[in-house]
A and B are shown apart, each in its own frame.
Chain A
Amino acid sequence: MSKYTMHILVCGGTGCMSSHSIEIVENLKKYIAKTGMQDIVQVLRTGCFGFCEKGPIVKILPDNTFYVQVKPEDAEEIIKEHIVKGRKVARLLYTDPTTERHISDSKHMEFYKKQMRVALRNCGFIDPTNIEEYIARDGYAALAKVLTMSQEDVINEVKKSGLRGRGGGGFPTGLKWEFAYKNKSDQKYVVCNADEGDPGAFMDRSILEGDPNSVVEAMAICGYAIGAQKGLVYIRAEYPLAIKRLEAAIHSAREYGLLGENILGTSFSFDIEIRFGAGAFVCGEETALIHSMEGKRGEPTTKPPFPAASGYWGKPTNVNNVETFANIPVIFLKGADWFNKIGTEKSKGTKVFALAGKINNVGLIEVPMGITLREVIYDIGGGIKDGKKFKAVQTGGPSGGCLTEKDLNTPIDFDNLIAKGSMMGSGGMIVMDEDDCMPAVAKFYLEFTAEESCGKCTPCRVGTKRLLEILEKIVAGKGTEGDLVTLEELGNTIKDTALCGLGQTAPNPVLSTLKEFKAEYIAHVRDKKCPAGQCSALLSYMITDKCIGCTACARNCPVNAITGVVKKQHTIDQSKCIKCGACINKCKFDAIIKG
C-alpha cells in the first residue's frame, strides 16, 4: 500500500452491493483517472463496515471520513471536492440524530463508540480478495508462531483464552480441540461451520466476505493443533459472494505456501476444501452438517459419539463456527491473556450481533461480552424507530427467547441469556416495539422451525407442527384458554425430549413470550383482542365523531366498505372490511380507530 497516499474504501458486502456499491467503485475509479491521481489514490472494495442502515458506506483514509448512503452519482463530487480540493462533502456525512450535527469520523459515532472489533478487525479495512493486505495486517503471523509451538501448547493457549463457540452452544473451544487432539487416528478433519441460517443473521457471511483469510489461517492453526491435514468449509450455496472470496483466499494461500504441503517450510501440511449446503437450517447442527457433507440426509444423530471421536467418515473431526475461527489468529497474536481480559467471568472476548428489527441503527456490530442489552439497543442501536416504545428483544434467532424491559440491564453473556430464558445463539438480535404482537411473533418463529425441522424425531416433527397450529388458531381469534395450557405443556415436552438443539429450543419463542406476555395471549383467547393491533382477525376499524365527512377514507377503501354522505360522519361495514388499514392512513383527522 506504500505508494498510495490516499485510500477510498467502499463497502463490498452483500447488502451494500445490492445498493450499487460496485458502480460506486467503478465511478470513483473513473473520476480518479480523469484527475490523473490513480497512482496516489487507491479505490478498494472492502468487506462490511457494519452500519448497514446507512449503507452504502464509503470511507476515505487517512482522514477517516465516513460517507453514508452514497449513490453511484455521488462519486464525481467525492473526487472533485474531497480528493482534489480537500473539502468534505457535507451532505454525505452522517448526521447524529440527537445533536443533528454532522460527524465525519466513524469513531465519534454512537454506533461505533461502544463496539470492539476483534473478529471483524479487518472487515471494512482491507481488500478481502488480496492476501497481501491481510498479511500486511499481521495475517498468517499467528500461524507462523503456532508452527513453532507444541500441539499441547497451542491447545492450552486457546483453553486459556476462554474462547467459547460462537455458533450457539458456547462450548469451550480449547476443550473441543483437545478432545479431537486426544483421539488418535490416521486421518482427522477440521470443519468450519458456515451454515449460517438464523433469519436476519449475517455475521458469518460478513466475516467470510470481508476477511476470509482469517478463517483460512485459523483452520490451519486448528489443523496443526489437533493433528489434521484436511479442512472443510461447509457453506450454504446461497452465499455466492462469500464462497467466491473464500475460494480466492484458499487459492492465494496455496500460492503463498500457506496451505498445502510443508507449510512455511515445516513438516505440517494442510489444505482446505469447500462443501456446499442446500440451506437447511438443521445442517448447522454439527452431526447433521457432517452427514450432509458425506452426501447423506442432513439430519442429526445422538451425541455421543461426538464428532471429536467419530465425525466426518467416522474420523475425529473438530467443528467450529466461522466467528469462532475468526477469533483464533488474534488470540495468538495478542496472547490469551489479552483476550481473556475482555468480557465476563465465563464468557471471554467479543460477540458479533446482527442488529435488526424496530431499531434505528440496523447493522452488524461487535461488542465485548458483558455489555448490557440497553447499551446495545439504545447507544449502539440508536433506540427504537419512530420514537415507539420498546417491547422486547429476541436473541438467539428462532431458537432463542424474548427478553423484556426488566432484562435490559443484563450483561450479555452465554450464561446470563440462558438464565433469562433466551440464549446467545449465533448472534441474531431482533428488537420489537409496541406494535409487535407477541403471539404473532411466536407464530413467525414456529413457522420457521416447523419448516426447518428435519422430521426425524417425533417431538420436533409433529410437536412443532401442533404448536404452530395452536398459535395459528390463537392469532385467528379461535384460541381457547385451554390452548394456552397445551402450548406450555407441549412446549416443555418438546424441550425435554427432542433429539437435537433445533428441536430442544424450538419452543423457546412460545414459552418465553407466554411467560412474559401472558396477558397478551389471554387477550387473544378470552377477549378476542390483539392489544398490539396486528392480528387482523381480531381487529375492527371504527369511525369516531371526529369525522368531518371529507370522504377520503371511503374513496380509498379497496372494498367499498365505508359509506356516508359528504360532511357527515361515515361508517364502516364490518362484514365487508378487510382490515387493510388504508382508511387510517388516509384520514387526516385521527377519526378512525382500530381495536
Chain B
Amino acid sequence: MAQVKVTIDGITLEVPKEYTVLEAAQKANIDIPTLCYLNLHETSMKSNKASCRVCVVEVEGRRNLAPACVTPITEGMVIKTNTMRVLKARKKIVELLLSDHPKDCLVCTKAGDCELQNLVEKFGIRNSSEINKGEQSTYPIDQSYSLIRDMDKCVMCRRCETMCNQVQSVGALAGVERGFKAIVGTAFNKPIMETVCTHCGQCVAVCPTGALTERENIDEVVKAIANPHKKVIVQVAPAVRVALGEDFDYPAGSIVTGKMVAALKQIGFDYVFDTDFAADVTIMEEGAELVSRIEKVLKRETDVKLPILTSCCPAWVNFYETQFTDLLDLPSTARSPQQIFGAIAKSYFSEKMNIPKEDMVVVSVMPCLAKKYEVERPEFNHDVDISISTRELARLIKQMNINFESLKEAEFDRPLGESSGAGIIFGTTGGVIEAAVRTAYEKITGESLEKIDFYELRGFEGVRTATVKAGDLEINIGIAHGLKNARMIMDEIRAGNPRNLHAIEVMACPGGCIGGAGQPYHHGDGEILQKRRQALYKDDVANEIRKSHENSEVIALYDTYLKTPISEKAHALLHTYYKAQERI
C-alpha cells in the first residue's frame, strides 16, 4: 500500500494514502472528537455524512476548517487539531447543538451513555446563557412496541438513516424538511408503527443521544414480581450472557451466565430458564421441516418449496412480511425460540407444575428490541408477557441493589433450563443453521456426527454460502446477516434461485443477536461484536451436549407431550403463519 507522509500536531508519520485525516490522527494517537461519524469495521456500517462538524481541524493552506472524518490526506499535509481556532469552532458547534436540545439530561434514558453529553463534558462547556438562546424544536413523541422516537433530542447525525437505508435497506427513516426544521422522519410523517420499520432497533443501537431509545418494560417486571399471586418465569436468550457483563465493567466477551442466573434469582423470579432450551426445540421443529421439505422436493412433490428460511428473528419476519410478500411460503413456520418457550411454559410446564397459566407471567430477556414487538403479535396470545433487553436487565439488577460481581454463580432451573451448545450459538450469525445441520445430518444419515464444528458456516461476511454433505445428500446453505444482505439473497431467490440454495439463515442485525439493538451500547467499537461471538462458540464447546436432539429435557418434552416434531400438537403450539403487511 502506498504511503503518504503527513504531520499532525507536530508529529510526522507515514500512513496509507487512502486514509482520512481522522484515521491518520488515530494512527498518531491523537483523539479527534467526533459525533456523527460511525465506522463499524466489522459490519458494513459506515456513516460519514460529515454533518456535525465537530471533528473540524486546521489544514495548512486551506481557507476553512476541514472535517477530519471525510478529508483525504495528501502528501506533505500539515494538520493541526488543537489550535485556538479549532477549539473555538468545535465548542461553538456543540453549543449550537445544545441550543436546540432539551436540557433534561438528568432524566434522559441515555444519561451517562450519551455521546453529546460526553462532548459537552470533554469541551468544558459551561456557559448556560449561550445554549439557552433561541427557538427550540418540538416534535411529538412517536413510539412502537420496540422503540421511542423523541426527535427533540435528534442532532441530525443521520446514523439511524444510514443504518436503516444503507445497512438494513428498510427505508423507514430519512431526512425530511429543511433548514432549522430538518429532521429524520418517516414517510409522510406517519407513526413508525405504520411504516415498513422492522423494529430491529439498529437505529437505537447507533443513536448518539436519547432521540432513539428502546421502550422500557422494567416497571412491568417489577410489578409482576411484587404480585404474590403470580409465578414469574424468566427466559434468557443466548446472546445476553456474553454481553451483560459489559454493563458491569467486565471486558467484552466475558461469559457471565452463572452470575446472571444468580442475579435473576435474587431479583425474585420464581423460575430462571434458558431460551436455549427453546432454541433446541426450534431445531427439532425446523430441522424436521427442512428434512421433510427436501424429501418432498426430491420426490418431485410440488406442494412445498425450497429454500426454507429461518424464522427465529422477529425483525426478519417483519421484513419479509412487508418486502417479500410473494414469498411467504418459504419461511419455516416454526415460531421463534422466545415464542416457543412462551408456548411450552404456558402449556407443558403449566400442566406439569400445576400452575394455571393465568397465574403465570413469562418474562424474556433478549438482546433484541424486535422481540418486544413480537410479544404483542396477536397470534401469540401473550404467551410471553413482557420482553426486556440486556440493557434493561442490567438496569434492573442495579435498581435491585445487587452487587453483580460478588454474586455466587448459580444454575438455570429445570426442566426448561437445560440446553445444548447448538442452542447457545443461536446468538450469532450462522449459529442457527449450524445447529440445524448438526441435527439434520444425523436425521438424514442415521449416523452419529463426528465433526460437530461446521467452520464453513461461520464468519462475518454479509452473505455466505456453503455446501454440507449429509450422506449422499448435498445441502446448499445460505447465510445472511443485516437486512440489506438478506434482501440481496432474497432477490436472488426471487430471480429463480440460481445457486439452488436449500436453506437460508437470516438475522436482521449485523452479527446476529450478539449485535442486537438491546445489547449494551458498542459506541462504534465493532471489535466488541467479535468478542461476543467468540464467547458464544467457546460456550458451545464447553457444553457436554452440543446437538439439540440430545438435550434430555427436549427428549422428555417430545416423549411425554409433543410426541414427534411437526406433530399435530407441536404444530398447534410451536408453529405460526405469515401474512403480507401493506406498509409504507
Contact = CB atoms under 8 A, between A and B. Distances in A.
Interface in A487-504: 489-490, 493, 495-499, 504
Given A456-B49, A457-B52, A462 B174 contact: no
A450 B179 contact: yes
Given A458-B96, A458-B156, A489-B92, A497 B180 contact: no
Given A493-B92, A499-B50, A499-B53, A302 B180 contact: no
Interface string B172-189: 001101111111000000
Interface in B163-221: 174-175, 177-183
B418 interface: no
Interface in B117-145: 133-135
Contacts of A455: 156, 175, 177-183
Given A466-B133, A466-B134, A497-B53, A454 B178 contact: yes
Interface string B39-65: 000000000011111101000000011
Nearest to A298: B178
Nearest to B85: A496
B178 A280 contact: yes
Contact of A461 (B54, B72, B182): B182
B88 A493 contact: yes
Interface string B368-389: 0000000000000000000000
Interface string A427-463: 0000000000000000000000011111111110111
Contact of B179 (A297, A304, A461, A466): A461
B70 A302 contact: yes
A397 B238 CA distance: 61
A299 interface: yes
Nearest to B71: A302
Given A450-B180, A504-B64, A456 B92 contact: no
Most A C-beta atoms less than 10 A away, residue of B89, B92, B155:
B92
B428 to A, nearest CB: 34
A454 B70 CA distance: 19
A545 to B, nearest CB: 45
Contact of B65 (A458, A461, A462, A497): A497
A96 interface: no
A573 interface: no
B551 interface: no
Contacts of B88: 493
Contacts of A499: 50-51, 53, 67
B187 to A, nearest CB: 13
Nearest to B67: A302
Interface string A82-115: 0000000000000000000000000000000000
A472 to B, nearest CB: 10
Contacts of B99: 462, 466
Given A302-B70, A457-B50, A462 B96 contact: yes
Contacts of A77: none
B286 interface: no
B178 A462 contact: no
B96 A495 contact: no
B555 interface: no
B178 A453 contact: yes
B258 to A, nearest CB: 47
B47 to A, nearest CB: 13
Nearest to A454: B178
Nearest to A503: B53
A301 B64 CA distance: 16
A526 interface: no
A459 B96 CA distance: 7
Given A297-B174, A456-B156, A497 B179 contact: no
Contact of A496 (B70, B89, B174): B89
Contacts of A504: 64
B97 A462 contact: yes
Contacts of A498: 53
A555 B155 CA distance: 55
Interface in A240-299: 280, 282, 297, 299
Contacts of B328: none
A479 to B, nearest CB: 13
Given A299-B175, A304-B72, A465-B180, A496 B65 contact: yes
A469 interface: yes
A16 B96 CA distance: 46
A466 B96 contact: yes
A382 B131 CA distance: 49
B100 interface: yes
B139 to A, nearest CB: 14
B93 A458 contact: yes
Nearest to A465: B180
Contact of A493 (B49, B93, B97): B93
Interface string A498-523: 11000010000000000000000000
Given A457-B52, A499-B50, A451 B179 contact: yes
A113 B183 CA distance: 52
Contacts of B92: 459, 489-490, 493, 497
Nearest to A453: B179
A47 B122 CA distance: 60
B82 to A, nearest CB: 16
Interface of B: 49-54, 56, 64-65, 67, 70-72, 85, 88-89, 92-93, 96-97, 99-100, 133-135, 155-156, 174-175, 177-183
| 5 closest residue pairs by CB, A with B | A455-B182, A462-B96, A465-B180, A453-B179, A493-B92
Interface of A: 280, 282, 297, 299, 301-302, 304, 450-459, 461-466, 469, 489-490, 493, 495-499, 504
Given A301-B49, A458-B97, 11 more contacts: A455-B180, A456-B51, A456-B175, A457-B52, A458-B51, A462-B180, A463-B96, A465-B179, A493-B93, A496-B89, A497-B65
9 contacts: A453-B179, A455-B181, A455-B182, A461-B156, A463-B96, A465-B134, A465-B135, A469-B135, A496-B56
